[in-house]
Amino acid sequence: MNTLAAKNASISRNGRCILRDATVSLSSGQLLSIVGPNGSGKSTLLRTLAGLWQASDGEVLLNGQPIQSLSRKDVAKRIAFVPQESLMDFSFTVGEIVAMGRHPHRGRFSRETATDREAVENALERCDVVQLRHRLVTTLSGGERQRVVIARGLAIDPEFILLDEPTANLDVEHGLEVLELCSTLAKDGKAVAFATHDLNAVARYASSVVLVQGGKLIDAGDREHVLSRKNVEEVFRVRAELVATDEGHPVYVFHRRTENYQSVSE
């Protein structure tokens, strides 16, 4: 069982505290969703967990060890981070980009091994981009790019996969594909976390949820508990309606608050 945990972690950038006292834990088989409005600190929390940003207070523990005490390469072997926007200015092929996922496993002078090639093949297949292998990334659509970047993360063969707004640039079909993939990865024993503001995606796929607002954790735990109508209405400042579906998970319908709106909590 692998665990990645933030303990009372705070992050300051340019003198401003953008994440305060966050305690979150992610372990094998879990599909955790970090939810909150724009600028609430979702991405910050994800980067902190990935060890990319160093906590100014508190700490992040990878299987009990402080993440800052591990080398960048050791962390990269175990945690894949999939950014929301990827820079694709140079015309590498999809195959080259996905093979970069093997970097943390390769020595400076070592050649590509059979294990490397196998991991790349698996990643290409899982993300359904085998047929794009020889395409230049500069010619891909947004959705194709996103799947290629996820494939690069999977090529690492990591224990933890952290995705920042993985469905933000995708159409409905590919968005669902990516979420299904996250769900399958979690079932296969990986620890998966994704940041999003798409509550319906969360309602359908995530097993546990962290709700953030203004750099603070509002609530964490089971989906039903955290995404209660009261929490959603408070954090997203809308009027929410929960509609049951045939598949069992609820669907949120949002309405702008009107003048004579009364919160459910009142």
Least Å from the CB of residue 193 to another protein: 14
Does residue 218 belong to the site contacting another protein (CB under 8 A)? no
Least Å from the CB of residue 154 to another protein: 13
Does residue 75 belong to the site contacting another protein (CB under 8 A)? yes
Applying CB under 8 A, which of residues 16, 108, 111, 256 lies at the interface with another protein? 108
Closer Cβ to another protein, 16 or 134, answer by number: 134
What is the pairing mode between strands 250-255 and 239-244?
antiparallel
CA-to-CA distance for 160 and 27, rounded, in angstroms?
8
CB within 8 Å of 21: residues ≥ 6 apart: 8, 9, 10, 57, 58, 216, 217
The 123-142 site mask, x for binding another protein (CB under 8 A), equals --------xxxxx--x--xx
CB-CB contact of 48 with 56 (8 Å): no
Does residue 121 belong to the site contacting another protein (CB under 8 A)? no
CA-to-CA distance for 252 and 126, rounded, in angstroms?
30
Least Å from the CB of residue 46 to another protein: 11
Applying CB under 8 A, which of residues 21, 59, 96, 121 lies at the interface with another protein? 96
Give the binding-site size for another protein (rule: CB under 8 A).
39
Closer Cβ to another protein, 131 or 260, answer by number: 131
Closer Cβ to another protein, 56 or 263, answer by number: 56
Least Å from the CB of residue 60 to another protein: 14
136 — phi, psi (to 5°)? -80, 135
| Strand, helix or coil for residue 55 | coil
CA-to-CA distance for 7 and 159, rounded, in angstroms?
20
Find the binding residues for another protein in span 139-178 (CB under 8 A): 141-142, 152, 156
Find the binding residues for another protein in span 192-211 (CB under 8 A): none
Closer Cβ to another protein, 36 or 153, answer by number: 153
Query: What DSSP designation does 110 have?
Result: P
CB-CB contact of 183 with 175 (8 Å): no
Least Å from the CB of residue 185 to another protein: 17
Find the binding residues for another protein in span 10-49 (CB under 8 A): 47
Instruction: Give whole-number Cα distances, 166 to 105, 109, 153, 234, in Å.
Output: 25, 34, 12, 25
CB within 8 Å of 132: residues ≥ 6 apart: 94, 140, 144, 148
Residues forming beta bridges with residue 65, ordered by sequence position: 62
Residues that bind another protein (CB under 8 A): 47, 50, 52, 71-73, 75-77, 79-81, 83, 86-87, 89-93, 96-97, 100-101, 103-104, 106, 108-109, 131-135, 138, 141-142, 152, 156
